[in-house]
């Protein structure tokens, strides 16, 4: 098990680019694999999660070439929506996106597949995708009432259209249903309680698949395959968020992030930090499939805020770092309506609360969130990542402001989403000294 050691730093000035967006990378390779020709992908995130998607597609007969050593430039040969039955179970590793989106595609294949995952993924509920996909005609078996993995999917070439009212705002559920619908017949619609990230809709639209969006409802027509087109993946705002939060609440620090995704369904963390008083400026280029641009941050004192409702899906993966920003801000930060966090790579409500307490912060935990008393001097502590990459990174950032040493245990999980985080951190640590 690897460890990262962090200590308090002086205000810093940095200019960074972050690796490709995880959500968009998964979709780029899956949708290219479904397409009618050859697609080049630039800026692909060569992290464990996205490589699990590449491995899964290769196991089903898709040819994927790596065009550079870093594996960020891929060439995918589309198979027109028809995969081959894999020889054995498909290992999705730690990746919920791989398992859930792939399930939508597999529901429409005329063979049976087994999907397995690591101990964390094996605890995550798959009934949320199994319910609509079974309504569409697939048969899905999992463990217990929440259908945790291993998952067995018996697909069908006769997927039926549905009108699905999703009980959760989940891009993974929405995408699984839309993918099955696109490979089936007729018009399939998904409505979600509030808008989750819309990368699937944007990319399918860019690949000339007919779909219509009306508020929180998306409809797609069956018998379609994506047109092959080259794709560019912007930097991951969820990875940039760690450095943005580290800077925003640190008077005297400055940061410039280049070529990062600025999709409105993903930038809730910027909006939240701005409400906390952060000085953040965005420059957005809207000309591509996804908005992207640069972010400039000037550090200052932050104030606690209350956050919940429709804002939560727009920063669902950023709640751990938002909680750390709340601990460094003056006053209370209250996070509500975020019960989804309990079924992420770890139970992020309890993992965040426990680790903040270890650093000397007063935290009250609710079923759907937490209240953090900010403003106290953080103390260095031993942090358990519990195999959750975003916990490991959020608390490494907290360690930059804590008195004494912070040790992040189980830091290898960072490789699932942000290869290069530890190097970026050690550069920061060596460029600024504080005793």
Which of the residues are catalytic? 317
CB-nearer residue toward ligand S3P: 197 or 401? 197
Q: What order do you get walking across the sheet with 13-17 strand by strand?
A: 13-17, 254-261, 292-298, 279-285
CB-nearer residue toward ligand S3P: 171 or 349? 171
The distance of Cα 255 from the centroid of its chain, to the nearest Å, equals: 22
Helix 348-358 × helix 319-328 angle, to 10°: 30
Which positions from 275 to 314 touch ligand S3P by CB under 6 A, shown as an x/- string?
----------------------------------------
CB-nearer residue toward ligand S3P: 239 or 406? 239
Strands 90-91 and 112-116: parallel
What is the three-class DSSP state of 141? strand
Do 246 and 269 contact (CB within 8 A), yes or no? no
When binding is defined by CB under 6 A, the residue of 35, 53, 94, 97 that contacts ligand S3P is 97
The string over 94-107, giving b where at least 16 C-beta atoms fall within 10 Å of a residue's C-beta and e elsewhere, is bbbbbbbbbbbbbb
Closest contact distance (angstroms) between CB of 374 and ligand S3P is 25
Which positions from 324 to 343 touch ligand S3P by CB under 6 A, shown as an x/- string?
----------------x---
Q: What order do you get walking across the sheet with 217-221 strand by strand?
A: 163-165, 187-191, 217-221, 211-214
Q: Whose CB is nearest to ligand S3P? A: 23
Which positions from 7 to 26 touch ligand S3P by CB under 6 A, shown as an x/- string?
----------------x--x
Q: Pick the stretch among 166-174, 183-191, 256-264, 320-328 that binds ligand S3P (CB under 6 A).
A: 166-174
Q: Pick the stretch among 30-38, 83-91, 170-178, 302-310 that binds ligand S3P (CB under 6 A).
A: 170-178
Distance of alpha carbon 179 from alpha carbon 181, whole angstroms: 5
Distance of alpha carbon 11 from alpha carbon 301, whole angstroms: 13
Does 120 participate in binding ligand S3P (rule CB under 6 A)?
A: no
Q: Could you please report the per-residue DSSP string of 185-199? A: SSEEEEE-SS----H
Does 317 participate in binding ligand S3P (rule CB under 6 A)?
A: yes
Does 196 participate in binding ligand S3P (rule CB under 6 A)?
A: yes
Binding footprint of ligand S3P, residue count (CB under 6 A): 12
Does 98 participate in binding ligand S3P (rule CB under 6 A)?
A: no
CB-nearer residue toward ligand S3P: 189 or 406? 189
Distance of alpha carbon 414 from alpha carbon 433, whole angstroms: 25
Distance of alpha carbon 44 from alpha carbon 86, whole angstroms: 24
Residues found near ligand S3P in the complex (CB under 6 A): 23, 26, 97, 170-172, 175, 196-197, 316-317, 340
């Amino acid at each position: 098990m690897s460890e990262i050691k962090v200590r308090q730093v002086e205000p810093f000035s940095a200019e960074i680019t972050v690796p490709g967006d995880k959500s968009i990378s998964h979709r780029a390779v899956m949708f290219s694999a479904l397409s009618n020709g050859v697609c080049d992908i630039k800026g692909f995130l060569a992290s464990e999660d996205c490589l699990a998607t590449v491995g899964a597609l290769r196991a089903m007969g898709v040819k994927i070439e790596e065009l550079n050593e870093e594996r960020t430039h891929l060439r995918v040969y589309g198979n027109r929506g028809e995969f081959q039955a894999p020889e054995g179970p498909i290992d999705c590793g730690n990746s919920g996106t791989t398992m859930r989106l792939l399930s939508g595609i597999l529901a429409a294949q005329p063979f049976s597949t087994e999907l397995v995952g690591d101990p964390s993924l094996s605890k995550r509920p798959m009934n949320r995708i199994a319910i609509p996909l079974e309504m569409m005609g697939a048969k899905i078996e999992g463990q217990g009432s929440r259908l945790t993995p291993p998952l067995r999917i018996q697909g069908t070439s006769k997927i039926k259209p549905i009108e699905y009212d999703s009980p959760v705002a989940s891009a993974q559920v929405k995408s699984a249903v839309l993918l099955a619908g696109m490979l089936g017949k007729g018009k399939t619609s998904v409505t979600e309680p509030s808008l989750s990230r819309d990368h699937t809709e944007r990319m399918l639209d860019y690949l000339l698949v007919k779909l219509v969006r009306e508020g929180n409802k998306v409809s797609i027509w069956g018998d379609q395959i994506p047109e092959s087109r080259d794709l560019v993946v912007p930097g991951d705002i969820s990875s940039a968020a760690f450095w943005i939060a580290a800077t925003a609440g640190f008077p005297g620090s400055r940061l410039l992030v280049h070529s990062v995704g600025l999709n409105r369904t993903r930038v809730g963390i910027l909006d939240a930090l701005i409400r906390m008083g952060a000085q953040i400026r965005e420059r957005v280029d809207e000309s591509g499939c996804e908005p992207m641009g640069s972010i400039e941050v000037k550090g200052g004192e932050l104030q606690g805020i209350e956050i919940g409702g429709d804002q939560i899906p727009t920063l669902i993966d950023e709640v751990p770092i938002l909680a750390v920003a709340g601990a460094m801000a003056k006053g209370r930060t209250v996070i509500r309506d975020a019960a989804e966090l309990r079924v992420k790579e770890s139970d992020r409500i309890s993992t965040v609360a426990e680790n903040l307490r270890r650093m000397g912060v007063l935290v009250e935990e609710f079923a759907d969130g937490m209240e953090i008393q900010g403003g106290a001097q953080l103390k260095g502590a031993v942090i358990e990542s519990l195999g959750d990459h975003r916990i490991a990174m959020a608390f490494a950032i907290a360690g930059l402001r804590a008195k004494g040493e912070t040790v992040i245990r189980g830091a290898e999980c960072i490789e699932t989403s942000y290869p290069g985080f530890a190097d970026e951190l050690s550069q920061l640590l060596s460029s600024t000294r504080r005793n």
